[in-house]
């Protein structure tokens, strides 16, 4: 299993995206243009939440 840091470096995430990925306390709304990495960000966020022990049934993506 890769660490969060090595995974993030592989994805080349911006500082803003890193903040979103590290925040485990707040609901987050992502609004951005086409090709900006929204889907990649959301998949990575959910992966990290599940790996951190969050019940997948408690995660909502719209």
Q: Which residues of the chain have pLDDT under 50?
A: 1-2, 5-6, 8-9
27: left (phi over 0), alpha (psi -120 to 50) or beta: beta
pLDDT for 3: 52
Domain ranges for the chain:
4-58
Condensed to tens digits (0 to 9), the pLDDT of residues 42-56 reads 999 999 999 999 999
């Amino acid at each position: 299993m890769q660490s969060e840091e090595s995974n993030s470096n592989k994805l080349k995430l911006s500082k803003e995206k890193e903040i979103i990925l590290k925040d485990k306390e707040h609901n987050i709304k992502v609004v951005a243009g086409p090709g900006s990495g929204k889907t990649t960000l959301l998949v990575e966020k959910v992966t990290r939440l599940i790996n951190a022990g969050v019940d997948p049934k408690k995660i909502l993506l719209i």
